Amino acid sequence: MEPAAQPEPTADPAPTQNMQSDQSPSQPASHPAQAHSPRRILDLIWSTPNKPARKGMLFHLEVVFAVAAVLATLFTAWTPGRPNTLFPSLTATNSSLALQPTPTFLPGAPTPTLPNPNLVGIVAGHWKNDSGAVCSDGLKEVDLNLNIATQVQKILTREGYQVELLQEFDERLTGFHAAALVSIHNDSCEFINNEATGYKVAAAFATRYPERTASLTSCLRARYGAITGLPVHSTSVTPDMTSYHAFGEINENTPAAIIETGFMNLDRTILTQEPDRIAEGVAAGILCYLRGESVGIATPESNVTETSPAAIP
Protein backbone atom coordinates (compact mmCIF):
# COMPACT_ATOMS: atom_id res chain seq x y z
CA MET A 1 0.00 0.00 0.00
CA GLU A 2 1.60 3.28 -1.16
CA PRO A 3 1.98 6.01 1.38
CA ALA A 4 -0.33 8.94 1.09
CA ALA A 5 1.18 11.97 -0.67
CA GLN A 6 2.37 14.65 1.69
CA PRO A 7 1.37 18.21 0.94
CA GLU A 8 4.35 20.29 -0.30
CA PRO A 9 5.48 22.92 2.18
CA THR A 10 4.72 26.43 1.13
CA ALA A 11 7.37 29.20 1.37
CA ASP A 12 6.83 31.91 3.93
CA PRO A 13 5.83 35.22 2.45
CA ALA A 14 8.78 37.52 1.65
CA PRO A 15 9.63 39.93 4.45
CA THR A 16 8.20 42.89 2.73
CA GLN A 17 8.78 45.02 5.77
CA ASN A 18 12.54 44.44 5.68
CA MET A 19 12.68 45.04 1.93
CA GLN A 20 10.75 48.21 2.34
CA SER A 21 13.06 49.31 5.11
CA ASP A 22 16.06 48.70 2.85
CA GLN A 23 14.55 50.86 0.15
CA SER A 24 12.97 53.41 2.47
CA PRO A 25 13.16 56.93 1.10
CA SER A 26 14.14 58.12 4.58
CA GLN A 27 17.66 56.82 3.91
CA PRO A 28 19.27 59.00 1.26
CA ALA A 29 21.12 57.24 -1.58
CA SER A 30 24.91 57.28 -1.52
CA HIS A 31 26.58 60.10 -3.41
CA PRO A 32 28.30 58.93 -6.61
CA ALA A 33 31.61 60.46 -5.44
CA GLN A 34 31.52 58.12 -2.41
CA ALA A 35 31.17 54.96 -4.51
CA HIS A 36 34.86 54.21 -4.28
CA SER A 37 35.69 55.71 -0.88
CA PRO A 38 37.62 53.58 1.68
CA ARG A 39 34.50 53.47 3.94
CA ARG A 40 32.42 52.13 1.07
CA ILE A 41 34.98 49.37 0.43
CA LEU A 42 34.93 48.34 4.09
CA ASP A 43 31.14 48.19 4.06
CA LEU A 44 31.24 45.99 0.98
CA ILE A 45 33.89 43.58 2.29
CA TRP A 46 33.03 43.36 5.97
CA SER A 47 29.23 43.26 5.83
CA THR A 48 27.42 42.33 9.06
CA PRO A 49 26.05 38.77 9.43
CA ASN A 50 22.43 39.86 9.83
CA LYS A 51 22.70 41.87 6.59
CA PRO A 52 23.37 39.64 3.59
CA ALA A 53 26.15 40.87 1.28
CA ARG A 54 25.36 41.62 -2.31
CA LYS A 55 26.31 38.91 -4.75
CA GLY A 56 26.91 38.67 -8.44
CA MET A 57 29.36 39.82 -11.13
CA LEU A 58 28.51 43.49 -10.75
CA PHE A 59 29.37 43.38 -7.05
CA HIS A 60 32.81 41.84 -7.61
CA LEU A 61 33.69 44.28 -10.38
CA GLU A 62 32.71 47.16 -8.17
CA VAL A 63 34.99 45.93 -5.37
CA VAL A 64 37.94 45.41 -7.72
CA PHE A 65 37.65 48.90 -9.26
CA ALA A 66 37.23 50.54 -5.87
CA VAL A 67 40.34 48.85 -4.42
CA ALA A 68 42.35 49.77 -7.52
CA ALA A 69 41.30 53.41 -7.26
CA VAL A 70 42.33 53.63 -3.60
CA LEU A 71 45.69 51.96 -4.18
CA ALA A 72 46.43 54.28 -7.10
CA THR A 73 45.59 57.28 -4.92
CA LEU A 74 47.85 56.08 -2.11
CA PHE A 75 50.74 55.38 -4.50
CA THR A 76 50.45 58.82 -6.08
CA ALA A 77 50.33 60.52 -2.70
CA TRP A 78 53.50 58.79 -1.52
CA THR A 79 55.49 59.18 -4.77
CA PRO A 80 58.57 61.38 -4.06
CA GLY A 81 58.60 64.62 -6.01
CA ARG A 82 54.77 64.94 -6.19
CA PRO A 83 52.79 67.27 -3.96
CA ASN A 84 51.63 65.42 -0.85
CA THR A 85 48.01 66.53 -0.49
CA LEU A 86 46.47 63.37 0.92
CA PHE A 87 48.93 62.98 3.81
CA PRO A 88 50.35 66.39 4.61
CA SER A 89 53.71 65.49 6.16
CA LEU A 90 57.40 66.05 5.46
CA THR A 91 58.07 62.45 4.45
CA ALA A 92 57.46 62.80 0.73
CA THR A 93 59.09 66.24 0.64
CA ASN A 94 62.23 65.00 2.35
CA SER A 95 62.38 62.00 0.03
CA SER A 96 62.12 64.30 -2.96
CA LEU A 97 64.92 66.54 -1.71
CA ALA A 98 67.12 63.54 -1.05
CA LEU A 99 66.85 62.56 -4.71
CA GLN A 100 67.90 65.98 -6.02
CA PRO A 101 71.46 66.09 -7.47
CA THR A 102 73.92 68.18 -5.50
CA PRO A 103 77.27 69.57 -6.78
CA THR A 104 80.38 67.85 -5.53
CA PHE A 105 83.66 69.61 -4.77
CA LEU A 106 87.03 68.05 -4.23
CA PRO A 107 88.37 69.22 -0.88
CA GLY A 108 91.33 71.50 -1.29
CA ALA A 109 90.99 71.71 -5.10
CA PRO A 110 91.94 75.18 -6.43
CA THR A 111 89.31 77.18 -8.26
CA PRO A 112 90.28 77.30 -11.94
CA THR A 113 90.95 80.78 -13.33
CA LEU A 114 91.37 82.08 -16.85
CA PRO A 115 94.07 84.54 -17.93
CA ASN A 116 93.15 88.07 -18.88
CA PRO A 117 92.94 87.93 -22.69
CA ASN A 118 94.00 91.60 -22.93
CA LEU A 119 96.97 91.43 -20.56
CA VAL A 120 100.51 91.08 -21.92
CA GLY A 121 103.78 91.09 -20.01
CA ILE A 122 106.99 92.53 -21.47
CA VAL A 123 110.24 91.92 -19.60
CA ALA A 124 113.04 94.38 -20.27
CA GLY A 125 116.04 92.07 -19.90
CA HIS A 126 118.49 92.90 -17.07
CA TRP A 127 116.45 95.98 -16.11
CA LYS A 128 116.88 96.87 -12.43
CA ASN A 129 119.30 93.97 -11.98
CA ASP A 130 122.52 94.39 -13.99
CA SER A 131 123.81 95.90 -17.22
CA GLY A 132 123.91 92.72 -19.29
CA ALA A 133 126.45 92.75 -22.11
CA VAL A 134 128.62 95.86 -22.26
CA CYS A 135 130.48 97.06 -25.37
CA SER A 136 133.91 98.66 -25.30
CA ASP A 137 132.43 102.08 -26.00
CA GLY A 138 130.03 101.79 -23.04
CA LEU A 139 126.90 100.62 -24.92
CA LYS A 140 124.88 98.51 -22.49
CA GLU A 141 122.49 95.74 -23.35
CA VAL A 142 120.05 96.76 -20.61
CA ASP A 143 119.60 100.18 -22.26
CA LEU A 144 118.78 98.63 -25.62
CA ASN A 145 116.40 96.17 -24.01
CA LEU A 146 114.53 98.82 -22.04
CA ASN A 147 114.22 101.12 -25.06
CA ILE A 148 112.78 98.33 -27.25
CA ALA A 149 110.49 97.00 -24.51
CA THR A 150 109.07 100.48 -23.82
CA GLN A 151 108.22 100.97 -27.48
CA VAL A 152 106.61 97.51 -27.69
CA GLN A 153 104.47 98.46 -24.71
CA LYS A 154 103.31 101.63 -26.49
CA ILE A 155 102.41 99.78 -29.70
CA LEU A 156 100.39 97.09 -27.93
CA THR A 157 98.66 99.70 -25.76
CA ARG A 158 97.54 101.56 -28.87
CA GLU A 159 96.07 98.28 -30.11
CA GLY A 160 93.88 98.07 -27.02
CA TYR A 161 95.93 95.71 -24.84
CA GLN A 162 96.94 96.17 -21.22
CA VAL A 163 100.72 95.85 -21.06
CA GLU A 164 102.87 95.53 -17.96
CA LEU A 165 106.53 96.49 -18.36
CA LEU A 166 108.44 94.16 -16.05
CA GLN A 167 111.92 94.16 -14.54
CA GLU A 168 114.26 91.20 -14.89
CA PHE A 169 113.40 89.80 -11.45
CA ASP A 170 110.13 91.62 -10.98
CA GLU A 171 108.06 90.34 -8.05
CA ARG A 172 105.01 90.50 -10.31
CA LEU A 173 106.42 87.59 -12.31
CA THR A 174 105.42 85.20 -9.55
CA GLY A 175 102.19 83.62 -10.74
CA PHE A 176 101.89 86.14 -13.59
CA HIS A 177 98.72 85.16 -15.45
CA ALA A 178 98.29 86.74 -18.87
CA ALA A 179 97.63 86.06 -22.53
CA ALA A 180 101.38 86.13 -23.22
CA LEU A 181 104.76 87.05 -21.77
CA VAL A 182 107.82 88.01 -23.84
CA SER A 183 111.27 88.82 -22.50
CA ILE A 184 113.51 91.04 -24.65
CA HIS A 185 117.31 90.63 -24.70
CA ASN A 186 120.29 91.14 -27.01
CA ASP A 187 123.44 89.17 -27.73
CA SER A 188 127.12 89.82 -27.18
CA CYS A 189 129.16 92.86 -28.24
CA GLU A 190 132.15 90.65 -29.03
CA PHE A 191 132.94 89.80 -32.61
CA ILE A 192 132.53 86.04 -32.95
CA ASN A 193 132.51 85.51 -36.71
CA ASN A 194 130.75 86.85 -39.75
CA GLU A 195 127.80 84.58 -39.05
CA ALA A 196 127.10 86.15 -35.64
CA THR A 197 124.16 88.22 -36.83
CA GLY A 198 120.43 87.95 -36.55
CA TYR A 199 117.87 87.07 -33.90
CA LYS A 200 116.76 83.97 -31.99
CA VAL A 201 113.60 82.98 -30.17
CA ALA A 202 113.18 80.30 -27.54
CA ALA A 203 110.61 79.02 -25.09
CA ALA A 204 110.55 76.67 -22.14
CA PHE A 205 111.01 72.97 -22.91
CA ALA A 206 108.40 72.00 -20.33
CA THR A 207 105.08 73.83 -20.56
CA ARG A 208 101.46 72.92 -19.89
CA TYR A 209 100.28 74.04 -23.33
CA PRO A 210 103.18 73.46 -25.76
CA GLU A 211 100.99 74.21 -28.79
CA ARG A 212 100.36 77.75 -27.54
CA THR A 213 104.02 78.37 -26.83
CA ALA A 214 104.97 76.99 -30.25
CA SER A 215 102.48 79.35 -31.88
CA LEU A 216 103.87 82.31 -29.98
CA THR A 217 107.46 81.56 -30.99
CA SER A 218 106.41 80.88 -34.60
CA CYS A 219 104.65 84.24 -34.79
CA LEU A 220 107.66 86.03 -33.30
CA ARG A 221 110.07 84.42 -35.78
CA ALA A 222 107.89 85.10 -38.80
CA ARG A 223 106.86 88.68 -38.07
CA TYR A 224 110.13 89.87 -36.59
CA GLY A 225 112.22 88.47 -39.44
CA ALA A 226 109.91 89.91 -42.10
CA ILE A 227 109.88 93.43 -40.60
CA THR A 228 113.53 93.78 -39.58
CA GLY A 229 115.10 91.79 -42.41
CA LEU A 230 117.43 90.09 -39.94
CA PRO A 231 118.15 86.37 -40.31
CA VAL A 232 117.24 83.83 -37.68
CA HIS A 233 120.28 82.51 -35.80
CA SER A 234 118.76 79.44 -34.17
CA THR A 235 122.05 77.55 -33.78
CA SER A 236 123.11 79.86 -30.94
CA VAL A 237 120.07 79.22 -28.69
CA THR A 238 121.52 78.45 -25.27
CA PRO A 239 120.22 76.61 -22.19
CA ASP A 240 120.04 80.02 -20.50
CA MET A 241 117.25 80.83 -22.94
CA THR A 242 115.31 77.56 -22.75
CA SER A 243 115.72 77.51 -18.95
CA TYR A 244 115.01 81.21 -18.52
CA HIS A 245 114.10 81.85 -14.88
CA ALA A 246 110.80 83.60 -15.60
CA PHE A 247 109.42 80.47 -17.27
CA GLY A 248 109.35 78.76 -13.89
CA GLU A 249 107.90 81.73 -12.02
CA ILE A 250 104.86 82.70 -14.06
CA ASN A 251 101.51 80.92 -14.05
CA GLU A 252 101.69 77.62 -15.92
CA ASN A 253 98.85 78.74 -18.19
CA THR A 254 100.76 81.77 -19.50
CA PRO A 255 102.50 81.21 -22.87
CA ALA A 256 105.98 82.73 -22.73
CA ALA A 257 109.01 83.26 -24.95
CA ILE A 258 112.36 85.01 -24.91
CA ILE A 259 113.80 86.85 -27.92
CA GLU A 260 117.30 88.16 -28.50
CA THR A 261 116.68 90.82 -31.09
CA GLY A 262 120.24 90.94 -32.48
CA PHE A 263 123.98 90.84 -31.91
CA MET A 264 125.33 94.05 -30.49
CA ASN A 265 128.36 93.82 -32.78
CA LEU A 266 127.28 93.14 -36.37
CA ASP A 267 123.68 94.28 -35.79
CA ARG A 268 124.62 97.38 -33.85
CA THR A 269 123.35 99.83 -36.46
CA ILE A 270 119.75 98.66 -36.59
CA LEU A 271 119.65 98.12 -32.83
CA THR A 272 120.81 101.64 -31.99
CA GLN A 273 119.50 103.66 -34.94
CA GLU A 274 116.20 101.88 -35.69
CA PRO A 275 114.90 100.67 -32.32
CA ASP A 276 111.35 101.53 -33.43
CA ARG A 277 111.67 98.99 -36.26
CA ILE A 278 112.94 96.39 -33.83
CA ALA A 279 110.01 97.11 -31.50
CA GLU A 280 107.56 96.94 -34.39
CA GLY A 281 108.81 93.45 -35.27
CA VAL A 282 108.41 92.19 -31.69
CA ALA A 283 104.97 93.75 -31.30
CA ALA A 284 103.81 92.32 -34.64
CA GLY A 285 104.85 88.86 -33.52
CA ILE A 286 102.87 89.16 -30.29
CA LEU A 287 99.80 90.51 -32.11
CA CYS A 288 100.05 87.66 -34.60
CA TYR A 289 99.70 85.19 -31.74
CA LEU A 290 96.98 87.06 -29.87
CA ARG A 291 94.86 87.40 -33.02
CA GLY A 292 95.42 83.85 -34.25
CA GLU A 293 96.93 84.98 -37.55
CA SER A 294 98.43 82.64 -40.14
CA VAL A 295 102.19 82.71 -40.40
CA GLY A 296 104.53 81.58 -43.14
CA ILE A 297 107.69 80.20 -41.61
CA ALA A 298 110.86 79.77 -43.63
CA THR A 299 113.69 78.77 -41.31
CA PRO A 300 116.39 76.07 -41.28
CA GLU A 301 114.14 74.06 -38.94
CA SER A 302 110.89 74.32 -40.88
CA ASN A 303 109.35 75.59 -44.06
CA VAL A 304 105.63 75.41 -43.46
CA THR A 305 102.60 77.62 -43.15
CA GLU A 306 100.54 77.28 -40.02
CA THR A 307 97.78 79.08 -38.15
CA SER A 308 98.30 80.42 -34.67
CA PRO A 309 95.47 79.23 -32.37
CA ALA A 310 93.73 81.65 -30.08
CA ALA A 311 95.67 82.36 -26.92
CA ILE A 312 92.68 81.71 -24.68
CA PRO A 313 90.51 78.59 -25.18
Q: State whether residue 178 is helix, strand or coil.
A: strand
* Distance, CA of 216 to CA of 219 (rounded, Å): 5
Strand ordering across the sheet containing 200-202? 162-166, 116-124, 178-187, 256-263, 200-202
215 assigned to some structural domain: yes
Are 211 and 261 in the same domain?
yes
Are 44 and 122 in the same domain?
no
pLDDT at position 208: 85
pLDDT at position 40: 58
pLDDT at position 296: 64
Intervals of the chain under pLDDT 70: 1-65, 67, 69-114, 296-313
pLDDT at position 279: 98
pLDDT at position 146: 98
**Domain ranges, residue 253:** 117-307
Count of the separate structural domains present in the chain: 2
Are 70 and 144 in the same domain?
no
131 assigned to some structural domain: yes
Are 213 and 286 in the same domain?
yes
Give the type of residue at 123: V
pLDDT at position 44: 53
287 assigned to some structural domain: yes
pLDDT tens by residue, 193-251: 999 999 999 998 777 889 999 999 999 999 999 999 999 998 889 999 999 999 999 99
pLDDT at position 13: 47
269 assigned to some structural domain: yes
pLDDT at position 215: 96
162-166/256-263 β-pairing:
unpaired
Are 65 and 153 in the same domain?
no
pLDDT at position 90: 42
Are 172 and 297 in the same domain?
yes
18 assigned to some structural domain: no
The residue out of 73, 89, 105 marking a domain boundary is 89
Are 58 and 153 in the same domain?
no
Q: What CATH number did the domain enclosing 200 receive?
A: 3.40.630.40
Are 185 and 66 in the same domain?
no
Element holding 70 (H helix, E strand): helix 57-77
121 assigned to some structural domain: yes
pLDDT tens by residue, 141-167: 999 999 999 999 999 999 999 999 999
pLDDT at position 206: 74
Distance between terminal CA atoms of the chain? 122
**In contact, 275 and 267? CB cutoff 8 Å:** no
* Distance, CA of 234 to CA of 194 (rounded, Å): 15
Are 193 and 248 in the same domain?
yes
pLDDT at position 204: 81
Are 71 and 138 in the same domain?
no
271 assigned to some structural domain: yes
Are 142 and 46 in the same domain?
no
1 assigned to some structural domain: no
**In contact, 128 and 121? CB cutoff 8 Å:** no
Q: Per the confidence metrics, is the pTM higher than 0.75?
A: no
Count the Cβ atoms, other than its own, within 10 Å of residue 228: 22
Backbone angles phi, psi at 283, to 5 degrees: -65, -40
Are 269 and 195 in the same domain?
yes
